[in-house]
A = this chain, B = another copy of it.
Amino acid sequence: MTDHYSISDLAKEFDVTTRTIRYYEDEGLLSPLRRGQTRIYSNRDRTRLKLILRGRRLGLSLEEAGQIVNMYTPGSDNVEQLQALIDKIEQHRHQLYRQRKDIEVMLKDLSEVEKICRQAMVEKHKENQ
């Protein structure tokens, strides 16, 4: 709510190191203001970091995550760029669909394995009686 954060504020909130946040800046993903040398992060910066980390949790590279984050602030005004952006969105959407499918299958598989485990445990208990 305060609209400005220190680097360690964000580091604590999102459970990353300050090194990581500075690295993201080196890679052009963040560009906080400065008071003297010290970095000052706005709510916009904080949101960008949040989006980057969300991408990372899905296994995206920093470059891919950056692409997605940059979609939120187009900046490009001509029709071709807009169309290119829409195409990128479509690509990412399909990747997400695939991941979602993978997750569903994996969840189902895990349930199956758990079931077998529990049955095996029941057998073991019978043995010990």
Contacts and interface: CB of A to CB of B under 8 A. Distances in A.
A16 interface: no
Q: Which of A56, A85, A118, A125 has the most CB of B within 10 A?
A: A85
A59 interface: yes
Interface string A74-112: 100111001101100100110010111011011101100
Given A57-B98, A93-B107, A93-B110, A117 B74 contact: yes
A79 B124 CA distance: 7
How many identical chains are in the complex?
2
Nearest to A110: B89
A113 B99 contact: no
Nearest to A121: B82
Interface residues of A, number: 41
B74 A106 contact: no
B57 A117 contact: no
A110 B89 CA distance: 6
Q: Which 8 A-B pairs have the closest CB atoms?
A: A59-B59, A79-B124, A96-B103, A89-B114, A82-B121, A89-B110, A71-B113, A54-B102
